[in-house]
Amino acid sequence: MPEEEVNLRLCFLGGQMFRFQEEAPGVFFGATGSEGYRLWREGAWVVGEGTGPQARLERLLRAGVQVAEVRARIEDRGPELAPLLGAFQGLRILRQPSRVEVFIGFLCSANNNLHRIMPMVRSLGELGAEIGDGLRGFPSLERVASLEEGELRSRGFGYRAPRVILAAREALERGGTAWLDDLAAGGYDRAWRELAEVKGIGRKLADCICLFGLDQGEAVPVDTHVWSAACRLYFPEWEGKAVTEARYQAVGDLFRSKFGSDAGWAHQFLFSGNLVRRRKDLALPMS
DNA sequence: TTGACACCTTGC
DNA sequence: CAAGGTGTCA
Nucleotide with C1' nearest the A205 CA:
C5
CA A63 to C1' B5, whole Å: 46
The single-letter code of the amino acid at A69 is E
Chain C bases near protein Cβ (<7 Å): 3-7
The answer to whether A113 CB sits below 7 Å from nucleic acid chain C is yes
pLDDT grade for A41, boundaries at 50, 70 and 90 = low
pLDDT value of position A286: 30
CA A200 to C1' C8, whole Å: 13
Which residues of the protein have their beta carbon within 7 Å of strand B?
A 111, 115-116, 153, 156-159, 241-242, 244-247, 281
The answer to whether A177 CB sits below 7 Å from nucleic acid chain C is no
Given a cut of 90, whether residue A65 has pLDDT beyond it is: no
CA A115 to C1' B11, whole Å: 9
CA A102 to C1' C2, whole Å: 28
CB A34 within 8 A of CB A129: yes
CA A150 to C1' B12, whole Å: 29
Tens digits of residue pLDDT in A228-257: 999 999 999 999 999 999 999 999 999 999
Tens digits of residue pLDDT in A137-189: 999 999 999 999 999 999 999 999 999 999 999 999 999 999 999 999 999 99
The answer to whether A54 CB sits below 7 Å from nucleic acid chain C is no
Between β-strands A130-132 and A20-24, what pairing exists: parallel, antiparallel or unpaired? Answer: unpaired
Out of A204, A241, A258, A280, the active site residue is A204
Given a cut of 70, whether residue A219 has pLDDT beyond it is: yes
pTM confidence score: 0.92
The answer to whether A249 CB sits below 7 Å from nucleic acid chain C is no
Q: Is A204 a catalytic residue?
A: yes
CB A235 within 8 A of CB A251: yes
